[in-house]
Amino acid sequence: MHGNTWNRRGAIAAAGAVFAAPGTGLAAPAPTVRDVLERMRGQTGAAWFDGGVDHIVAGSADAPVIGIATVMMATFDALKSAVAHRLNFVITHEPTFWSHPDHVEQLQDDPLYRRKLAYIGEHGLTIFHLHDHWHGKKPVDGINVGMMRKMGWQPYMDAQNNRIFNLPPTTLTSLVDRFRRTLGDRTLRVIGDPALAVRRVIASWGNCSSFPGIPYLDLADVLVIGEAQDWDLIAYANDLVAARRPKALVLLGHVLSEQWGMEYCADWLKTFVPEVPVRFLPIVQPYWNPADPVFEIDTKI
Amino acid sequence: MADSKPAPARPSFAPRHTGPLTALQVIQLVLDKVGAGYRPATIDHVSAGDPLTPVTGIAVTPIASLAVLRQAAGAGQNLVITYDPGFWSSSDNLDGMEGNDLFLLKRDVIRDHHLIVFNLHDHWRDRVPDGLTQGMAQALGWAMAKEGGVFEIARTPLLVLARSLAGRFGDRTIRVVGDPRLPVRRVALALGNAAQMPTIALLNGPADMVLAGYCREWEAVEYVQDMVASGSKKAMILLGEIVSAAPGMKACAEWLKTVTEIPVAYVEAAPGYWS
């Protein structure tokens, strides 16, 4: 739909690392990855901190940025999509190399690691893992902003706790249908009575363990998350339901529970990186179920 | 001084067990017979109850859920042997559970019915072959893998295999990564928790598909997606932890019957999901 515009800008960018700054008519030099990261540091509303998992996973801080892709997870498919859109700086919320901190020591002889790294190198990509600082964005977690925007839940955000949404009265079944339709979720899973009356929903997008999940369940009728371990928070929710507590847990899958948080990230970046195209590239959810098999695994945008 | 009388074989005052076995004795018996080697560290432990309680019956289950505990108590099975923990973390960590309503309820079920909960996770997996793998192979009628832990099955498209597994286990929330048309002939099992490195190693082996329990979406799930996206003919099916552990714990119940005369029953644990 908007592909032509972006491709044209990408093509200009690729042709020479010089950009027309919108509105000025003057050529602005391409920012480097370092420039973009420095601007980001000043825009999260919170102090930038060391430690955690946010870092340049591959590529270089000195690389000139032709265009920026924001993605939920830097899957191979997401990287191919970024290359197809001529976006050489990939900002990903989840890992590139299959573990939270992108540990690669144990992968040095791994054929897929080598293939993915070679692909990144051949296409001059730089990948930045933006997890902790995006969740730490003030006044509201960036993932939460994007997800509530996707769900149309901004009017319902609780004044005291921005993870809580006071929805118009509904049922668990209707809430789940809403998630299924809005997010295109074919593999969500639910624990709880389908007829449960729902008013308050607490969202912990992404992974959620017993802590903080157990206290969250005290605060609302439904806790919605991306994923949890079956013997941990999910077992707790099962026991709650067995004890006839009017509570439910909705598991959207990790990717679908967070990825529109990276759409918001693209919008945020556009406000302070005007020189280059910035685009959110949604990825496919990893799974299908036997009732709804999916034969096409590539992201099509 | 010479004394020609032989010493008695057993001093007459030595304690001898006469009454019913205690939970501790049964657990000792299990650990002696299970065929697992010594482990320097384990999460297997008595997670609740007084281990000196005489055992009236044994319930074996994938997870000591509230429903399972109630069912075992109702059937007079006071020793519950479980693969997964009863208190919502791998180590049954109770920090932060002070005053938690559900914890108190579960504790009271355990106290009122003199239940003892024993987590048998690591030692059941350390058996050769792995207790969960063997149970799953039996349930599916697959001949045990000879080499490299890979099962050879009749060539089946991934979609057909997924449907058959979903039907076989009544799994309403089975999830599949990969091309539904992929012909599957070699399957590796990563039952229970399919952790990053062992699962990646299985995917790089001869298997077309890994049959897993639970797997983090940002670890081996992403890895399979990347294999598929880069042209490898691989797939993964996630049964869910409970479904994946159930046949192995059913096999555990059968094995226990050969170890003790105490009544043993397998207790189903419902995964609880709908979709």
**B96 vs A214: CB contact, 8 Å cut-off?**
yes
Distance from CA of B210 to the nearest CA of A (A): 14
DSSP assigned state of B223:
H
Q: Please report which helix (H) or strand (E) contains residue A6, including its range.
A: helix A3-15
Give the CA distances from residue A130 to residues A42, A95, A136, A274, in Å, rounded to whole numbers and listed in that order.
14, 9, 10, 20
**A286 vs B275: CB contact, 8 Å cut-off?**
no
Q: Which residues of A touch B63 (CB under 8 A)?
A: 230-231, 235
**B174 vs A238: CB contact, 8 Å cut-off?**
no
From the list A75, A100, A111, the residue facing B225 with the nearest CB is A75
* pLDDT score at B15: 63
Average pLDDT rounded to a whole number, residues A61-86: 97
Q: Which residues of A touch B227 (CB under 8 A)?
A: 112
Query: What is the complex's ipTM, to 2 decimals?
Result: 0.93
* pLDDT score at B9: 63
Name the average pLDDT for chain A: 91
* pLDDT score at A194: 98
Pair A50, A168 in one domain: no
Q: Which residues of A touch B202 (CB under 8 A)?
A: none
Backbone phi, psi, residue B145, to 5°: -65, 140
Taking each helix axis as running N to C, give the angle between helix B131-140 and helix B241-257, from 0 to 180 degrees, rounded to the nearest 10.
100
From the list B105, B175, B225, the residue facing A289 with the nearest CB is B175
Which residue, B181, B170, B188, B145, is CA-closest to B240? B170
- Assign residue A229 the CATH number of its domain: 3.40.1390.30
> Is A27 inside a domain boundary?
yes
Q: In terms of pLDDT, which residue wins out, B5 or A93?
A: A93
* pLDDT score at A10: 38
* pLDDT score at A68: 98
> Is A235 inside a domain boundary?
yes
From the list B67, B85, B275, the residue facing A190 with the nearest CB is B275
Pair A116, A228 in one domain: no
Residue of chain A with shortest Cα separation from B70: A242
* pLDDT score at A294: 87
Instruction: Give percent above pLDDT 70 in chain B.
Output: 93
Widest distance between CA atoms in chain B = 89
Cβ atoms B144, B134 nearer than 8 A: yes
> Is A287 inside a domain boundary?
no
Distance from CA of B59 to the nearest CA of A (A): 18
Supply the range of the domain harboring residue A101: 3-137+258-280
Pair A12, A118 in one domain: yes
> Is A174 inside a domain boundary?
yes
Pair A119, A196 in one domain: no
Average pLDDT rounded to a whole number, residues A54-74: 98
Which residues of chain B are under the pLDDT cut of 70? 1-17, 146-148
From the list B180, B204, B241, the residue facing A293 with the nearest CB is B180
Pair A176, A75 in one domain: no
Sign of the torsion formed by the C-alpha atoms of B200, B203, B209 and B210: negative
Q: Which residues of B touch A116 (CB under 8 A)?
A: 226, 230
Q: Which residues of A touch B201 (CB under 8 A)?
A: none
pLDDT-based confidence at residue A300 (cuts at 50, 70, 90): low
> Is A19 inside a domain boundary?
yes
Average pLDDT rounded to a whole number, residues A60-73: 98
**B217 vs A254: CB contact, 8 Å cut-off?**
yes
> Is A24 inside a domain boundary?
yes
Q: Is the pLDDT of residue A18 over 50?
A: no
Pair A88, A220 in one domain: no
* pLDDT score at A5: 35
Domains of chain B with CATH codes: 23-127 (3.40.1390.30), 131-244 (3.40.1390.30)
Pair A122, A76 in one domain: yes
Distance from CA of A175 to the nearest CA of B (A): 12
> Is A146 inside a domain boundary?
no
> Is A166 inside a domain boundary?
yes
Pair A48, A79 in one domain: yes
pTM, two decimal places: 0.92
The total of structural domains in chain A comes to 2
* pLDDT score at A15: 38
Give the residue from A233, A252, A271 where a domain finishes.
Answer: A252
Q: Is the pLDDT of residue A14 over 90?
A: no
Pair A34, A95 in one domain: yes
Pair A268, A230 in one domain: no
How far apart CA B257 and CA B254 sit, in angstroms, is: 5
Q: Is the pLDDT of residue A301 over 90?
A: no
Reported as a single tens digit per residue, the pLDDT across B16-45 is 667 899 999 999 999 999 999 999 999 999
Token readout for A280 is: 């959110």
Q: Which residues of A touch B225 (CB under 8 A)?
A: 75-77, 286, 297
Q: Which residues of B touch A187 (CB under 8 A)?
A: 173, 175, 275
How far apart CA B143 and CA B217 sit, in angstroms, is: 30
Reported as a single tens digit per residue, the pLDDT across B104-150 is 999 999 999 999 999 999 999 999 999 999 999 999 999 877 666 89
* pLDDT score at B172: 93
* pLDDT score at B220: 97
Pair A34, A164 in one domain: no
**B217 vs A242: CB contact, 8 Å cut-off?**
no
Pair A159, A85 in one domain: no
Range in A62-66, A188-192, A194-198, A295-299 with the lowest mean pLDDT = A295-299
